[in-house]
Structure 1
Amino acid sequence: MDNKEFLDFLLRRFKIEREKFDRSGVYAYTQRLLAYNSNKIEGSTLTEEQTASLFDNGTLPKSDDYYRAKDVEEMNGHFLMFNKMLDTLDESLSQELIKQFHFELKSGVFEDCANGYAIGDYKQRPNMIGMHQTVRPENVAREMYLLMDWYDDQMANISVLAEFHARYESIHPFQDGNGRTGRLILFRECLKKGIVPVVIEDTNRNEYLEALKKYREENGLDKLIGLFEKEQQFYFEKCKYFL
């Protein structure tokens, strides 16, 4: 099976299984896989089993442990963001669409609303990645315009998507949720451009963060490209079960 056949299969099954509320196929698997790993990278305490239960039936398994409300809210938000991505695949990537993804992810998160974070809009307060300064709020729209303008002129491949992702994360346009929106955009653009999708596993979190750091400090993309290629193979191998 070549890339085109694989992507056609994914898009067809995503549509059919979602419409039929099928929780046993590749659509549900991908929802759970992407949401679990992307949230786990950001510190979510929910397990794979808990993520699956939340997606499958909206409940969490009985446990003696406490569940952190924000983790549950953000997991549900990720499920909604993924569906929004599927609903808008015929649209070109834009700043407005990226803001819509952020709104789906964050609009149900009480803590972010209580903290006065901009939901579905760019950040209003400076933020950092560890000790690294990101683009100041007043410059985000301009930097995002430049990024989108550059991307529109590219023939998308895994190297271009790696650069887009690294630049997006360096801008850090939202108060919170930058990693999750960025990884969702990465998955989307792979689907849209006929490229095997990338799902960053939490087990590769350190490699991922080091690759982003190398771009910030040296403009180096080799580590990120190598990781993306490895994660493409991981997702393809997992999805072969459903073929």
Structure 2
Amino acid sequence: MEEIQQALNLKAQLDALRPIDKEQEARIMQKFRLDWNYHSNHLEGNSLTYSETKALLLFGVTAQGKPLKDTLEITGHNEAINWVLEMTQGERPLTENFIRELHSLLLKDSYKDSKNATGKIVPRKITSGKYKSTPNHVETVTGEIFYFASPEETPSKMYDLLNWYKEKTKDKEVNPLLVAAEFHYKFIRIHPFDDGNGRTARILMNFILMQFGFPPVIIKTEDKANYFAALQLADAGNIEPFINYIAINLNRSLEIMIAGANGEDIEEDEISNKIKELELKIKDLKSKNN
């Protein structure tokens, strides 16, 4: 596929620019971290805006009128990212204990959830760092139940997944993009935890990519429909569109990192974007009042 080859070509361009100036690399990684925290959580329903996420993580300013749970999700996710970034420097292997520890950082403490997988209101306890204790199958738009691994199957399936990964990465000619994307999908098909599976899958995918010198993939919240559509095609037996989708998003991250390494401005004009949003809101209000 063209996108996969493009990723390898862009990675070669990035490697030619290394080592990157430390301050510039810190700026690049800060942008990735902020984007990653906002988009990955917003995909799962977090209500904090990008500006509120940035204010929280850079300045410790909490958003007024937003649920405490949403703030804790962002700070927990940021802590998990920072931990993973440290682990990539130390070359820590990917194991089940690694995944449980990551999940514990992500979800922090145990908490009560009011919905089960089918959307019914039922109190249940979710414990971070432990595999699921109840089924978390989902109901599709057609009314069918899509089955993940059962709680009883989960330990053996996770054991098999990590063995698969270990064998795959023994090959010196391994393509990290293919392995990272497939790991993401296989993890999601197991859905090993009661909550946080999507966020954990994306962090683990990026951990694999970063271990091989790639930047993290940022799946944007406005592209949510395409992301889930690619996953659903994989569920139907066609994983190629999902791998292609991950490659497209990886290429965007590579282009950002190359631009940053070359000293180019990689920051979006947030103030101008906010002004445009306000202008649109004012126009909507005027049209409603007329």
Instruction: Name stretches of at least 5 consecutive residues in structure 2 with no aligned partner.
Output: 1-11, 114-122, 140-144, 169-173, 262-290
The offset of 1:147, in angstroms, is: 0.9
Cα distance, 1:3–1:153 mapped onto 2, change above 3 Å: farther
Contact 1:168 1:182 in 2 (8 A): yes
The answer for the alignment partner of 1:58 in structure 2 is 60
TM-score, length of structure 2 as denominator length: 0.72
Q: In structure 1, which of residues 225, 237, 241 is the aligned counterpart of residue 255 of structure 2? A: 237
Q: Does residue 223 of the first structure (1) align with residue 241 of the second (2)?
A: yes
Deviations 1:18-64 (A, max 9, x none): xxxxxxx1232121110111001101111100110011011135x5x
Q: In structure 2, which of residues 204, 221, 224 is the aligned counterpart of residue 202 of structure 1? A: 221
Q: Does residue 125 of the first structure (1) align with residue 114 of the second (2)?
A: no
Q: In structure 2, which of residues 39, 42, 50 is the aligned counterpart of residue 40 of structure 1? A: 42
Identity %: 26
In structure 2, C-alpha distance between the alignment counterparts of 1:52 and 1:212, rounded to whole Å: 29
The offset of 1:236, in angstroms, is: 2.2
SS in 1 for 2:244: helix
Contact 2:218 2:249 in 1 (8 A): yes
The offset of 1:104, in angstroms, is: 0.4
Instruction: Output the aligned Cα RMSD.
Output: 2.4
TM-score, length of structure 1 as denominator length: 0.85
The answer for the alignment partner of 1:153 in structure 2 is 167
The answer for the alignment partner of 2:83 in structure 1 is 84
Cα distance, 1:13–1:80 mapped onto 2, change above 3 Å: farther
Deviations 1:189-225 (A, max 9, x none): 101023343221112211111111111221x111111
Q: In structure 2, which of residues 185, 190, 193 is the aligned counterpart of residue 166 of structure 1? A: 185
In structure 1, C-alpha distance between the alignment counterparts of 2:242 and 2:13, rounded to whole Å: 24
Letter in 2 for 1:105: L
Asked which structure has the greater RCO (Cα within 8 Å, sep 6+), the reply is 2
- Computing the radius of gyration from Cα coordinates, the structure with the larger value is 2
The answer for the alignment partner of 1:20 in structure 2 is none
In structure 1, C-alpha distance between the alignment counterparts of 2:60 and 2:17, rounded to whole Å: 30
Cα distance, 1:84–1:5 mapped onto 2, change above 3 Å: farther
The offset of 1:110, in angstroms, is: 4.4
Q: Which moved more, 1:232-241 or 1:26-35?
A: 232-241
Cα distance, 1:35–1:8 mapped onto 2, change above 3 Å: farther
Instruction: Name stretches of at least 5 consecutive residues in structure 1 with no aligned partner.
Output: 18-24
The offset of 1:115, in angstroms, is: 4.0
